[in-house]
Structure 1
Amino acid sequence: MLRWFIVIFLAVIVFSAALPWLEKLGIGRLPGDFRFRIFGRTVFLPFASTVLLSLLVFLLVRLF
């Protein structure tokens, strides 16, 4: 359980760092990706995009 929590946490960090590049591809604006402002800061929770990218990585690993 702890291992999955760490993996998901790291995936969100990597996704957040790559977000400007991925937004050009349309990823990050899917239904299920939440973006809201709190106290002048934008908070982004990429739930749907994280699931999509995880599925793509899983399929790539499975094929090769």
Structure 2
Amino acid sequence: MTGFGKIFIVIGIVFIVIGLLWSFIGKLPGDLTFKKGNVTFYFPIMTSIIVSIVLSLIFYFIGKIR
């Protein structure tokens, strides 16, 4: 398998994990939502933290495998 093949597999796995996490933990208690008139602003702080931790673990284990 070439270097590009491994990179594409890792990127695909990362996107799958992000998609699964996003569907299961869409709006956590730490996520901020502001509504004013017709404008809604959504800032997913907790979701971002959890996704960051999961991605860090994935890349850590991928680095250990090499």
TM-score category (smaller protein): 0.5 to 0.7
Alpha carbon RMSD of aligned pairs, Å?
A: 2.1
Secondary structure of the structure 1 residue equivalent to 2:41:
strand
Structure 2, unpaired ranges of 5+: 1-17
Q: Distance in 2 between matches of 1:47 and 1:60?
A: 20
Matching residue of 1:52: 50
Q: Distance in 1 between matches of 2:60 and 2:24?
A: 25
Letter in 1 for 2:34: F
The sequence identity of aligned pairs, in percent, is 26
Structure 2 residue 31 is matched with structure 1 residue 33: yes
Matching residue of 1:4: none
> What's the CA shift string for 1:8-64, capped at 9, x where partnerless?
xxxxxxxxxx89xx3xx2322111001121231110010000000000000000001
Structure 1, unpaired ranges of 5+: 1-17
Aligned length: 43
